[in-house]
Amino acid sequence: MGDHHLFLKPWGGIRAEDWYDWKWQFKNSLRTVAPGAVEIDGSPWLHKELLSVTETYPFRVTPYYLALMDLSDQTDPLRRQCFPDPQEIHFSLGGVDDPLGEQCDMPVPGLIHRYADRCLIMATNVCAMYCRHCNRKRLWGRGPFAGTQAYLQPMFDYIRGKKEIREVILSGGDPLTLSDRSLAWMLASLRSIPQVEVLRIGSRIPVVMPMRITPTFCKMLRKYRPLWFNTQFNHPREITPAAARACEMLLEAGIPVSNQSVLLRGVNDSYGVMQELLYSLQRISVRPYYLFQCDPVRGTDHFRVDLWKGLEIMEKLWRNISGLCMPRYVVDLPGGKGKAPLQSFSFLSANNMNSSEHFFDKNC
């Protein structure tokens, strides 16, 4: 899809300089599904249902991302990721708000320290888009908190006192909803801690608001290397020229970009879609890193894919596509027990292992 196409819907007539200005995109994000704000299937009943969902789980989507989807199609994989669904409220199989026990691993509010050598900072709970499958959707309704010094300084003090922490992940919410100035201050503060060797940013911005990746921002980031950038493309249609350019700019600044997809029912739970996603990521030099099993978070049951189906897709991918395209399929174990890789061993039968053909294949 060429970028010019994005002007055609749903905000025809917007000036190009506005469309490509991330502050305009952020400010003009759609935040209500009320009739008049957005036309979805023309049904007043549906509007009412969806509005009631947003009282529990807020709604927000950028004009850019909205322009990529077919609003009239409830099964559109991009629409599914951002539009509220009554199933978030009415179809709960016993999920909990925080199944990974993040709140229990917080020695300081907003800082998760689960693994000895690294920790994660929730810099803000604001995102450019609220993804309906998010494992931190419990934080959206709490009122916004953003990266103020009063909020972050206790985290930096904690990290300074923990000599074993060598890697810090800036996450959220989405940290790239904060200004360049705030982010530069955070990164400089972390860099001033002697034992912190590596910084990582987790952000969906290249997917949902790629114009946020500006030359000035990349120049600033470059100063704080080694710095790794993890994003979350879940569907090949999200890889637009604008998104590709955002990733390219990060790469040109010397920032490796990796992708962490979530396996989502009705979005990417088929071999064909997953293959196209992985090929498309490789085309833009983004490394497929993880494929996450969707966590058992309250309000996300309708997205969860059966583990065996996930393994089946992975097995077929292993058989057919290059290892360079392959992410690791992982599940985050409940109760803060960490990540566990999932692997199908059905193709490792004794027969296969003993076959000379197998070794030939490998060596050639």
The answer to whether 180 and 220 have CB atoms below 8 angstroms apart is: yes
Which residue numbers are catalytic? 114-115, 118, 127, 131, 134, 136, 295, 332, 339
CB of 316 to ligand SF4, least distance (A): 26
**Closer residue to ligand SF4 in complex, CB, 131/211:** 131
Stretch binding ligand SF4 (CB under 6 A), from 13-21, 171-179, 265-273, 296-304 = 171-179
Kindly list the strands in the beta sheet with 328-333, ordered across the sheet, starting from the edge strand earlier in the chain: 111-115, 118-122, 167-171, 198-202, 227-231, 257-263, 287-293, 328-333, 338-341
User: H-helix or E-strand containing 259?
Assistant: strand 257-263
**Closer residue to ligand SF4 in complex, CB, 85/193:** 85
| Footprint (CB under 6 A) of ligand SF4, residues 117-136 | 127, 130-131, 134, 136
**Closer residue to ligand SF4 in complex, CB, 99/193:** 99
CB of 214 to ligand SF4, least distance (A): 19
CA atoms within 13 A on the CB side of 81: 27
CB of 88 to ligand SF4, least distance (A): 13
Tokens matching residue 270: 């088929």
**Closer residue to ligand SF4 in complex, CB, 173/288:** 173
* 264 to 133, 223, 273, 292: CA distances (angstroms): 8, 36, 11, 9
CB of 17 to ligand SF4, least distance (A): 25
Numbers of helices and strands, H then E, in the chain = 15, 9
| Footprint (CB under 6 A) of ligand SF4, residues 13-52 | none
The answer to whether 98 and 332 have CB atoms below 8 angstroms apart is: no
* Alpha-carbon span 141 to 144, nearest angstrom: 8
Stretch binding ligand SF4 (CB under 6 A), from 167-175, 239-247, 319-327, 352-360 = 167-175
| Footprint (CB under 6 A) of ligand SF4, residues 196-235 | 204
Q: Quick check: 174 binds ligand SF4 (CB under 6 A)?
A: yes
CB of 169 to ligand SF4, least distance (A): 12
**Closer residue to ligand SF4 in complex, CB, 173/296:** 173
Q: Is the peptide bond before 226 cis (omega within 30 degrees of 0)?
A: yes
The count of residues interacting with ligand SF4 (CB under 6 A) is 9
The answer to whether 241 and 2 have CB atoms below 8 angstroms apart is: yes
Label residues 282-302 b or e (16+ Cβ within 10 Å = b).
eebebebbbbbbbbbbbbbbb
CB of 137 to ligand SF4, least distance (A): 7
Contact residues: ligand SF4, CB under 6 A: 127, 130-131, 134, 136, 172-174, 204
